Amino acid sequence: MALLQISEPGMTTAPHQHRLAAGIDLGTTNSLIATVRSGSADTLADEKGEHLLPSIIHYAENDIVEVGESAKEKALEDPMNTLASVKRLMGRGTEDLTTLGGHLPYDFADTESSVPRIKTRAGEVSAIEASAEILRVLKARAEKTLGDDLSGVVITVPAYFDDAQREATRDAAKLANLNVYRLINEPTAAAIAYGLDQKAEGVIAVYDLGGGTFDVSILRLSKGVFEVLATGGNSALGGDDFDHAIAQWVLEQAQLENTNDQKLLRRALTTAREAKEALTGQEQVKINLGGWEGELSRTTFNQLIDSLVKKTLMACRRSLRDASLEKDQIINVVMVGGSTRVPYVREKVAEFFEKEPLVNIDPDRVVAIGAAQQADVLAGNKPDDEMLLLDVIPLSLGLEMMGGLVEKVISRNTTIPITRAQEFTTFKDGQTALSIHVLQGERETVESNRSLGKFVLRNIPPMVAGAARIKVIFQVDADGLLSVSAEEATTGTKSQIEIKPSYGLTDVEIEGMLRDSIENAKADMEIRSLREQQVEADRSMEALDAAMKQDESTLLSEEERQRLLAARESLAVVRSTSEHSEEIKAAIKAMEKAADFYVERRMNSSVREAMSGHNVDEF
């Protein structure tokens, strides 16, 4: 007899049903999307059964955008409207094009924007917009396959991605209308896929050999958290180079190495790739090209790629050295990337690390699978005891400095919980208290950021300006509660405040603050530079005033005194009227030059005073 599930009004009739979350591997060559179904994580295929989506975008006629295999087919016939490897441009500025341009044969637009834009039939396109097209296709694949809306995703990024590259990835997801739970490092995702986050603590190596790039990461697992100890690799080395090595060998055997026939060269590469894949499961393969027939053995193939594999192992050796580790301290080696299917690669990696690598999971899919498992946890589909959520800070946290400037202590997108300490000092002689103003935001000046709170550190021993050592500690717990404390080193005097850093800010407001910081970046830096020079001018004038007051004209004639006062007045005028930091900087140098004789005279006076009543031999 079948049982009918009855539920309370408003409650689901399928208690096992969970929120649909997915993991996305947004790759340079290929991208994938995976999700957890019935407790098992797996990648999702398109209507043709293909799991891998080539990370290629073609801008066709009539505003049609093609992504994947169909776009890949257009790469040769319409190269200027077909974008590939755009991941290499993510988070990069126009100033980076000189180093990246050789690998990216696109027609870049002349723009005042700091973000490189590529000319296409559809207009000027950034790497963020191109990546959003890939993400839209993956999102549609998941929702069509599973028949539900995605509640959120985890997207993987290389371990070496900096803050700008990570933020660009988030921006692409936002354009694709995806809710990003978290960005996680690709090697971390691979380790999660193998369940290494649930096992004993130790150090793990992740060997990632894709189609166009190689990366190695050394991770330390401690209490369920992965720490990246070192990364290395080669952004221009991958399985494509294996194909080129085979193709060159085939052309030489067929005595066609000097051919200019582009179709034949493309066929040689296709033949090489098919041979490489066939040699994964057999000892030799027959090859037919341009009327030549022959055989390629696995032994010959190994010889052809030996130097390339050695380059990857050299990068592994460097990463171990950077992490100050020996090979015997690595407890597991995880293989990632389709090119790690090559038996010779696995053999050499096992030989280098002196242990068999983990290869149970499809190396093309392992990163996406790990991301899906993390997304499943973050969506709330796991029991409470498995719900250790490590969130990120949405906006930077910092302190007000002299001149109304902001010093960032914790940058946005830093994973919490986190503790950061920074040392500061006093600005004026005899200063016995310090006002600490905590701010949130990405702008360079106080008035452009959000004030979170203020407190005062009192009972600082009176000292000359710059002598006090005041440590300010920012602590953000797993719930996002910020605690800021300050301590003076010599007396141990302490003071602190607790703040909820994201309280009262909606996602729209956070997005607006980020957008403002990007749009005003250049102006903000100019303002910061101006105010820094204004503070330096104040410091120089106060130092001169204090010195002249202390000496009471004993070291200066009236004429010299008036000359110094005139130089000071010139600086004061420039400081209060100029809006250019370089002008103030020049005025400071002019005053300092005018006072050089006075500084030397004071120094000599101090030395004579210290030597009074003593013999040189005593020293």
Residues marked active site are found at 25, 87, 186, 208
| 555-590 burial code (b ≥16 CB/10 A, e <16) | bbeeebeebbeebbeebeebbeebeebeebbebbee
Closest by alpha carbon to 396, among 518, 304, 501, 530?
A: 501
Q: How far, rounded to the nearest angstrom, does the alpha carbon of residue 147 sit from its chain's CA centroid?
A: 34
Number of neighbouring beta carbons within 10 Å of residue 76: 11
Copy the structure tokens of residue 62: 């009539």
| Distances 219 to 68, 245, 320 between C-alpha atoms, Å | 32, 32, 10
Tokens of 326: 């020996």
CA dihedral 37, 38, 40, 46 (to 10 degrees): -30
CB-based burial, 276-305: b 16+ in 10 Å, e otherwise = beebeeeeebebebeeeeeebebeebbebb
One-character DSSP codes across 118-136: EEETTEEEEHHHHHHHHHH
End-to-end CA distance of the chain: 104
Q: Rounded CA gap, 493 and 72, in Å?
A: 65
**What are the tokens at 435?**
């006002």
Residue 71 to residue 82: CA distance in whole angstroms:
7
SS (H, E, C) 468-521: CCEEEEEEECCCCCEEEEEEECCCCCEEEEEECCCCCCCHHHHHHHHHHHHHCH
Cα angle 252, 257, 261 (rounded to 5 degrees) comes to 135
- Rounded (10°) angle between helices 366-378 and 186-193: 80
User: Which residues have C-beta within 8 Å of that of residue 238, sequence separation ≥ 6?
Assistant: 29, 209, 210, 211, 212, 213, 214, 337, 339
Reference 451, options 504, 512, 494, 511; nearest CA is 504
CA distance 518 to 511: 11
